Amino acid sequence: MTRDFPHRIVVLLLLAVIAGFVLTSAARADPLTAELEGGESIFSQNSWYYYGQVGVFSPLNLKTSTGHASDNPSVGTAATSGPTLHLFVQVNDLVYLTSPAPTPHSFDSYQGVNPAVGIRFPIPGGFVEGDAGVAIAEAFQPFSPVTVQTGLFLQGEFYRSLGPGAFDLFADYTGYIAFAYVQGRYLIPVYQGPHFSLFAGPEDIGEFSYNYWAGQGGGVIGLQVPAIKSYLTFDAGLLRSSAGEGAGGYEGFSWYVSF
């Protein structure tokens, strides 16, 4: 097995996105909303995560548009106004330390791709979404040959306006390593102008696998720039994890574009 898996990921990504565009546009005349996203999260305790995502949203026309699903999202997501099909493909590179004492052989590394499909439903002041797909990765583990692993991929999100801001709860599950990720954020508008809007608030994150765990708490800043159809987030804070002793730190960044 060679390490050319990322090249195959790119091919799968392009094929899946093209198929999504063709299938959804052929099935209905409604305009599609495309999305591009990329980001990273780096821990001081010898762990890091990089990801990218390409997808499309397509209205299902199950009922009349509600007009309140997510017309002005402040969490970095495409605006929708009715039940919407979501087709997407994620690529990722996850590396984490499996013991507190780093050695050249104590890291687990997974380079993966997650094709998935889901439905976003409107609720007053927000939306709920559930997605399911397949997680495939090339695994690099200590003292083991390189293997390709597969498993179930699940993802969900709940977003709703609450008080002066909005609450966003996001979670996903990667089956081949039984890895669960849960993130909660509450964002409040700090500045809203003609060229950009600024949001800020707290966040809590939990990550759990069969040989790794991490808990994070900190703050997040969101920057919405309509001119380039973008939403950028910057987060940082403290963490505790099974990969280190005592407290550490983390930082993250993401860039979401919808058009």
Q: Is 86 within a domain? A: yes
Tell me which residue of 121, 169, 126, 177 sits closest to 151, measured CA to CA. 177
- What does the block give as tokens for 100? 């507190």
DSSP 1: -
DSSP 32: P
Q: Is 206 within a domain? A: no
CB 145 within 8 Å of CB 106? no
Range of the domain at 9: 5-186
E strands within the chain?
Answer: 33-43, 47-59, 84-97, 107-123, 126-140, 147-162, 165-174, 179-192, 197-208, 213-225, 230-241, 248-258
Distance in angstroms (rounded) separating the CA atoms of residues 191 and 199: 7
Q: Is 229 within a domain? A: no
pLDDT at 68: 43
Using 50 as the pLDDT threshold, list the residues of the chain that sit under it. 1-4, 7, 64-73
pLDDT at 69: 39
* Residues shown for the chain: 259
C-alpha angle 79-184-54 in degrees, rounded to nearest 5? 45
Q: Is 29 within a domain? A: yes
- What does the block give as tokens for 34? 């495309």
pLDDT at 100: 60
- What does the block give as tokens for 186? 């509450």
Phi/psi region, residue 19 (left: phi>0; alpha: psi -120 to 50; beta: rest), is: alpha
Distance in angstroms (rounded) separating the CA atoms of residues 66 and 245: 50
Distance in angstroms (rounded) separating the CA atoms of residues 38 and 193: 25
pLDDT at 75: 57
- What does the block give as tokens for 202? 């707290």
User: Tens of pLDDT along 15-70?
Assistant: 565 565 555 555 555 677 888 999 999 888 888 899 999 988 888 876 544 444 34
Number of domains the chain contains: 1
pLDDT at 72: 47
Q: Is 226 within a domain? A: no
Distance in angstroms (rounded) separating the CA atoms of residues 20 and 215: 36
Q: Is 243 within a domain? A: no
Q: Is 105 within a domain? A: yes
Q: Is 221 within a domain? A: no
Residue 89's beta-bridge partner residues?
54, 115
